[in-house]
Chains A and B, each alone.
Chain A
Amino acid sequence: MTTSGSSFVQRYRIALLTLLALVLLPFVIGLFEGASPFEVWSNQSGMSRFIQGLAIEIFILALYALSYDLIFGFTGLLSFGHSMFFAVGAYLTGIALKSFGLNLWQTFGILMLAALAQALLFGIVLPRVKGITFALVTLGLSSVFHIVVMSRELGDYTGADVGLQGVIIPDFISPATERLRLYFVTLTILVVFYLIYRRFVDSPLGRVCKAIRENEGRAQMLGYNTFLFKLAALILSSLTAAIAGALHTIYQPIVSPDIAGLGFTVTALLMILIGGVGTLHGALAGAAIFRLLDFGLRRYLGESASFVNGAIYVLIVLFLPYGIVGTWQLKASLSIAHMRQGWQRLLEMVGVNVERRASRE
């Protein structure tokens, strides 16, 4: 029993350490400012609150990136309409809370139904179109949603091009007064979904999805009804993205129509490309890097941030061929001898003669 326990810890030590660090993060940041953990607990430390806000945004983006990675990275469906999944969640939450005065649980129920419905909508076009054509059709569907949201006719509900504003968030989870609670709620949801995704990817269901990505024809030949597997991935992805959207509304209280546009789908694509397509860690790391990069560059460079951002993307593509996590995994799986060779080459580059050093020793 003890051996299996220690092997569990050993096997997942990086994940567990990250989780621990994230749990302690608000309190540690509070200490920097001289606020005791108790003050942080009662949401009195300004700096800690700020960092919590940034972290919440990263968690939301990470959920969104995970959901895109599932359909694109694991199932091989290139969708340009993913922002619709997120925006439906965000808008529905806002409208249900603001215009209909529903409570959070009712909102959640509606959200699940809507997420299912839009996954089925994408499912309708799924058997007809493949590859890049699927991407364009989904782009079309999400653009129509974007235009509906922006239209004046629904302005009372969606706020048209100004965006949905003045959503009143229930007190117990309000980002203004109970931010630390929101932080832990978001973190918990992210961890739960990460575990679900891990399970999904490693399950027979997920393996068939990967087979579809690699070669759909062959998966069909083996007797799998690939449509059902793709639909399952779409439904899970849609649910996740809708929850990410709901959390976005709860955290921001403002929903801008930009999150329904093509730009936000591209954000998802960029996040998983940075992290590494088809790796769950990659989606998380990509979201964190994307948000921090954007935040840092905007803060220190102002206007020219997107230039540097673009340059960094180009450099990542050229020098980290499979994203950060993907490239790292690839490197780590190579033999140790290979790594030693690399070290020798590095040492030679700085002028150390390895053979002579070895003989001296």
Chain B
Amino acid sequence: MEQIPAIMRKNLVLIITLAVMLVLFVAAASGMSWQDFVITLLRGLAVGALTFLVASGFSLIFGLLDVLNLAHGTLFMVGAYIGWTVYVRPDTFVDILTPLALIISGFTLGDVWRLLAQRVPQSGLWRRVLPWVAIVPGVLIGFGVMRGYPVASWSLENYAESPVTFSFLASQGQRVIPAPATFGDGSPLIAFGGLILASMLIAFGLTLLRQSDIHTAAHVSWRHVVPFAGLIAGGLVVFTVNEPLTAWLFALDTNWLFLIAVLAAVLSGMGLGALMESTLIRPLYVRPIYQLMLTLGLSAIGIEIVRAIWGRPEFTMPKPALFAGSGEGCPAESLWLALQNSCSTMLFQGGRIRIYNEIFIPLVGLIVLIAVWLLLRRTRLGMIIRAGVQDREMVEALGINVRRVFTMVFALGVGLAALGGVLAAPSIGLSNTMGESFLLNALIALAIGGLTSYPGAAIGSLLVGMLQQFIIKYGQIGIAIPLTGIVFKPSPPLVPASTILLMVIILLILPNGLLGRKE
């Protein structure tokens, strides 16, 4: 009992701030009807959950690697676009699987390349030229084959075949299978051989380029060939069953297809993250500030690639069937009935709640929060991550391969961002700029919650989401300022301003954020 005054004295500023905010909040909320209040709260939860998916990855990466990954918003967007592709155009997805597997295959033979590289004379002209002799033809062959490789796709010039049209058709339930792309005059076998060869050449060349890799002992046994053979076999199997698989995916229930889309987006996000960390970010740990420039450059490149592939116009991603119904019994009276009739909305005290946006997304956010929390608290990897956030050098000194953990954390962070993207797509649509606003939101959320604190990321995201939605709501109904009779209506630019102001206030009072570690 005697501790309470001491705690109060220590955190006086914090308590006063919270109290003032609470009073302001209650004053504002009292002007709002109960129904509006609950719906706005749920919307805030949804935005907060999406922000959290971006922010949590960002905070894990920043905490362990000290990298401010400014490309995180772009990766969020890439996740959304990949999810859309799998969901709306499964044929493209199936077509792309085979070449992807073949291109990756060569890189699984790392030890074989290392063994070969050790046989190459370690000095002289040959040693310098050989990597490029391998890489350049490899890249050329790869590009040459991919140019002729048939991948069913959309066209950005022709409106009838643009992503916008396919989205519209899919949302109307008209899932017509587009004409499959076929090999023209070239033989598929030549294309497969070319891709495998290109992949092997590039992998070998890259091994040669990395001096440090060569000198580690390499040991080759038949086990190393298994993933290689598995990837090639998998790729070929997908190719042979291409048409039935495509037809099956098109006929599949959209709920399952959505699940596949989410998985594909998360996996490709993790792959991209691992690739980014191991090739581009790793050389920059010694020059931290240049990481900002690198990630900014990557962000610009990512946006341009998305524009080149999916085009500039905005389009939507249809919701899965479970959340899209509007027929009999909709809008439903209760959540249970809504799920039974697969309604898109349910009634709540006279107001409408969209199930996908306001129930499903916060739920997924909560599941991710708990899952990552369990990963951090209850597993060995999580222990290493937490230790690494506290003192990276000590972890290294204990003989843990921190590099591998770095790559895993980066992959995990980007995977979370991609998950956020694909979940956001059905609710806010896809556009080239969707990443930027979420990146800024996530930054603010992290600053509020404490930059490297995982629960802080959750609290910050929640605050940001709530505040934005409440300000938007007040923009519609106006705030009656007590004792004056003036109704104040916040204008749209005040939405970002409100969260930024909150951040500035909290940072000035608590420089480390709400839950940040004291320095």
Residues of A within 8 A of B (CB): 78, 125, 128-130, 132-133, 136-137, 139-141, 143-144, 147, 150-152, 262, 266, 269-270, 273, 277, 304, 306-307, 309-314, 316-318, 321-322, 348-349, 351
Contacts and interface: CB of A to CB of B under 8 A. Distances in A.
B500 A140 contact: yes
B284 interface: yes
Nearest to A150: B493
A137 B502 CA distance: 10
Contacts of A152: 491
A313 B308 contact: no
A71 to B, nearest CB: 14
Interface string B56-69: 00000000000010
Contacts of A312: 297
Contacts of A313: 293-294, 296-297, 300
Interface of A is mostly: helix
B511 A144 contact: no
Contacts of B424: none
A161 B494 CA distance: 14
Q: Chain B interface residue count: which class?
A: 35 or more
Contact of A349 (B128, B296, B299, B301): B128
A107 to B, nearest CB: 28
Contacts of A130: 511
B280 interface: yes
A130 B300 CA distance: 29
A151 to B, nearest CB: 6
Contact of B507 (A136, A262, A311): A136
B290 interface: yes
Nearest to B493: A147
Nearest to A78: B289
Given A129-B511, A136-B443, A136-B503, A314 B496 contact: no
Residues of B contacting A: mostly: helix
Nearest to A345: B128
Interface string B483-519: 0000000010110110011011001100111000000
A140 B280 CA distance: 30
Given A133-B511, A307-B305, A321-B290, A147 B297 contact: no
Nearest to B303: A306
Interface centre among B68, B299, B440, B508 (most CB of A within 10 A): B508
Given A313-B294, A314-B280, A128 B305 contact: no
Contacts, number: 109
Nearest to B305: A307
Given A152-B491, A304-B304, A125 B297 contact: no
Contacts of B416: none
A277 B503 CA distance: 29
Of the listed residues B124, B128, B305, B511, the one surrounded by the most CB atoms of chain A closer than 10 A to its CB is B511
B380 interface: no
A129 B507 CA distance: 8
B296 A151 contact: no
B493 A317 contact: no
Contacts of B504: 137, 140-141, 144
Contacts of A78: 289
B259 to A, nearest CB: 33
Interface in B403-453: 440, 443-444, 447, 451
A310 B493 contact: no
5 contacts: A140-B500, A307-B300, A313-B300, A314-B301, A321-B290
Nearest to A129: B511
Contacts of B440: 262
Contact of A136 (B293, B304, B447, B494): B447
A269 B293 contact: yes
A311 B301 contact: yes
B301 A310 contact: yes
B384 interface: no
Given A314-B298, A318-B280, A321-B290, A349 B303 contact: no
Given A140-B503, A143-B500, A317-B290, A133 B493 contact: no
Interface in B292-320: 292-294, 296-301, 303-305, 308
| Closest 6 A/B residue pairs (Cβ) | A310-B300, A313-B297, A307-B304, A140-B504, A310-B301, A314-B297
B6 interface: no
Contacts of A141: 504
Given A349-B125, A349-B128, A133 B507 contact: yes
Contacts of B511: 128-130, 133
